[in-house]
């Protein structure tokens, strides 16, 4: 076993802690654009992507890491992403959301993780594998030299300049909106310690911390032989595979998941928020089924929301942008059906 995989445990601990304190969940972020019209978590996701985009680009330019965008297979990215998006609404959380809430003691999230892991394993090596292989194999596209497509290389522009350009435009737009819509967000009057350990974090702190965790993850994961930043599904699948086959397959990403759950558990215990709590049996079945859809979708699209939206979009991977867009579309379709439509009938 490569001792460097223990860095994954450390990265996971910080990641899980930040997810729990920031209540960071992409399902809420995207769903609440149409359901609650609350954009707080969406802003946190935006900041995290921006920080990672700038960080990855600097790290690549200075030779600390080498960018590794996921392969582009449009059919699998679209179908997998859409199914994943539907699944996360049923599961009540994205891949990272259900993982950290399992650590906080929410049984509904644990049942979703079970579904995600089971379907993930069945799709990566079991009976669902042919479906994913077919979609990936028949729709794969690369550059003539075999490179995976990114927004930069399909147009033949420099990756570094494009990434910095997008970041600069985003920051300028952000400043303009911040000046125009200044509504004096309430400043908390509490000690720094209480704000870190006891209260929920604001969207800016959450986004910045998660963006930096992504950078450290890329470096330490590559050092351990896995050249990619954060992911979720592969970690759970590796843990289950080790348990089922009785062989130690634990790698950086599996250790990261163990750390993530422990980090969220620690965060909840320190804040006095830990408790085992369960919804009705019907909802437990619903979250399990949601997890199953997520597991298939994630492996089919070669990534869940973390692999694609948090780790792939900052690398300008075309696969991640397409899968990310379809995750959002799937999320909206399910959220409209489950929440918006019934509310209109009132």
Partner 1 sequence: MTDETKVDQTLDVRGEICPNPDVRTMTTLEKMEKGQILEVLVDYPLSVERIPKNAENRKHKVVKIEKVSGPEHRILIEAKANK
107 binds partner 1 (CB under 8 A): yes
Q: Which is nearer to partner 1, 234 or 268 (CB)?
A: 268
Site for partner 1 in 312-341 (CB under 8 A): 339
Cβ atoms within 10 Å of 180's Cβ, excluding its own: 7
> Between 182 and 275, whose beta carbon lies closer to partner 1?
275
Name which of 324, 260, 317 is nearest 298 in CA terms: 324
- Asked whether position 215 contacts partner 1 by CB under 8 A, the answer is no
Residue 92 makes contact with partner 1 by CB under 8 A: yes
Q: Does 133 bind partner 1 (CB under 8 A)?
A: no
Residues 145, 275, 281, 282: which binds partner 1 (CB under 8 A)? 275
Q: At 73, which helix (H) or strand (E)?
A: strand 72-73
Residue 30 or residue 326: which is nearer to partner 1 going by CB? 30
Residue 277 interacts with partner 1 (CB under 8 A): yes or no = yes
Please identify, using beta-carbon distances, which residue of 63 and 186 lies nearer to partner 1: 186
Question: What is the distance between the alpha carbons of residues 43 and 37, in angstroms, rounded to a whole number?
Answer: 13
Site string for partner 1, 21-60 (x = CB under 8 A): --x-x-xx--xx--xx-x-x--------------------
- Crossing angle of helices 95-103 and 107-125, rounded to 10°: 130
- If one asks whether residue 189 binds partner 1 (CB under 8 A), the answer comes out as no
192 makes contact with partner 1 (CB under 8 A): no
The single residue among 16, 108, 120, 297 that binds partner 1, judged by CB under 8 A, is 108
Which span (2-10, 100-108, 123-131, 227-235) binds partner 1, by CB under 8 A? 100-108
Query: How many of the other CB atoms lie within 10 Å of CB of 314?
Result: 28
The DSSP secondary structure of 161-219, one letter per residue, reads: HHHHHHHHHHHHHHHHHHHHT---PPPP-S-HHHHHHTSPPPHHHHHHHHHHHHHHHHH
Indicate which single residue of 30, 218, 274, 296 sits in contact with partner 1 (rule: CB under 8 A).
274
Measuring CA to CA, how many Å separate 215 from each of 23, 53, 171, 181? 20, 9, 19, 31
Element (H, E) at 31: helix 26-34
Q: Do 309 and 98 meet the contact criterion of CB atoms below 8 Å apart?
A: no
Shortest CB 186 distance to partner 1, Å: 10
229 binds partner 1 (CB under 8 A): no
- The size of the chain, in residues, is 346
Beta partners for residue 72, in sequence order: 141
Interacting residues with partner 1 (CB under 8 A): 23, 25, 27-28, 31-32, 35-36, 38, 40, 91-93, 97, 104, 106-109, 200, 268, 272-275, 277-280, 283, 287, 339, 342-343, 346
């Amino acid at each position: 076993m490569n001792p460097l995989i223990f860095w994954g445990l450390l990265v996971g601990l910080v990641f899980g802690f930040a997810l729990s304190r920031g209540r960071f969940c992409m399902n809420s972020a995207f769903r609440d654009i149409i359901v609650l019209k609350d954009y707080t978590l969406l802003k946190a996701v935006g900041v995290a992507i921006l920080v990672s985009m700038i960080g990855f680009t600097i790290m690549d330019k200075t030779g600390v890491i080498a960018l590794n965008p996921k392969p582009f297979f449009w059919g699998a990215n679209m179908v997998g992403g859409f199914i994943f998006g539907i699944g996360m609404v049923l599961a009540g959380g994205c891949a990272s959301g259900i993982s950290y809430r399992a650590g906080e003691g929410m049984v509904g999230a644990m049942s979703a993780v079970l579904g995600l892991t089971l379907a993930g394993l069945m799709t990566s090596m079991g009976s669902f594998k042919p479906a994913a292989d077919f979609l990936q194999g028949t729709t794969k596209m690369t550059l003539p030299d075999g490179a995976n497509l990114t927004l930069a290389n399909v147009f033949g522009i420099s990756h570094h300049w494009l990434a910095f350009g997008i970041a600069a435009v985003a920051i300028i737009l952000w400043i303009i909106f911040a000046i125009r819509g200044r509504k004096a967000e309430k400043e908390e009057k509490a000690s720094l310690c209480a704000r870190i350990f006891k209260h929920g974090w604001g969207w800016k702190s959450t986004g910045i911390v998660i963006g930096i965790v992504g950078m450290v993850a890329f470096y330490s994961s590559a050092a351990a032989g896995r050249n990619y930043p954060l992911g979720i599904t592969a970690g759970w699948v590796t843990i289950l595979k080790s348990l089922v086959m009785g062989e130690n397959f634990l790698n950086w990403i599996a250790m990261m998941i163990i750390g993530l759950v422990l980090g969220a558990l620690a965060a909840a215990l320190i804040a006095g928020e830990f408790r085992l709590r369960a919804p009705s049996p019907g909802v437990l079945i619903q979250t399990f089924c949601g997890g199953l859809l997520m597991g298939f979708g994630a492996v089919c699209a070669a990534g869940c929301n973390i692999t694609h939206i948090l780790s792939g979009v900052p690398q300008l991977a075309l696969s991640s942008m397409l899968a990310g867009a379809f995750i959002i579309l799937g999320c909206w379709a399910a959220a409209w059906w489950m929440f918006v439509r019934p509310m209109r009938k009132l």
